[in-house]
Amino acid sequence: MTHGETADFVTLRGEEELVRRAGDLFASAREEFLCGAADLVTWSGGVNAAFACGKRPPLRTGSEGGLAMRKVYTRRALGDPHSERRLAAIAASGAQVRISAAPLAREAIVVDRRVAVLAGSEARGARTYTVVRAADVVEGIHSLLYATWEAAEDVAECLGAAAVPALDAEARSVLGALSAGLTDEAAARRLGMSLRTYRRRVAGLMAAVGATSRFQAGVRVRGR
């Protein structure tokens, strides 16, 4: 144990040290693995690999038995095809993935309600991670994170599982301009609209197709 560490709180610097010194915690999950992140970057390859190495029970697919893998992300995790494919793959693996419209209080992982890992704020240099074993603190972190997960929307809904509403020719032209990556000024000129009218149409179409970004709106209806 180094200076500043206690049995209940240990701060690690960088994901490499996190996996090296605390990777067994992720692999030891037996009942619940609850994860909250703003996007798909915070808990990346090393953490996922450490989790996969454990001789854990199969993921729970029903109401009983197995490991409950619960993950909640903010809408930062949406917005480009690669991220959306990753989210869909995570959900397809058996994890219960949800998207929160509100920001997370802290990015964290809670394993079996007995240990938590808090990610430090994003800054230059290695990110810090605090491993927490104090039972009352872990319970508080779990309660906040679980409440956020429970109130969030299933990822399938956010990825457009529901049918995209019928769009007229003008709407498809606007979405085509979005997909092409044109500036607002260029798109408005191409479509013969004022800049204000074009931006109003974009806002309305994003709401109609359930998109959280302009890029997502463009790709969501591509090929339909």
Name the pairing type of β-strands 96-100 and 68-74.
parallel
* pLDDT for position 26: 81
* pLDDT for position 92: 80
pLDDT along the chain (224 residues), means of 10: 67 87 84 92 70 61 74 86 82 88 91 94 80 96 96 83 61 76 87 90 77 64 49
* pLDDT for position 60: 63
* pLDDT for position 113: 95
Sign of CA dihedral 16, 7, 25, 94: negative
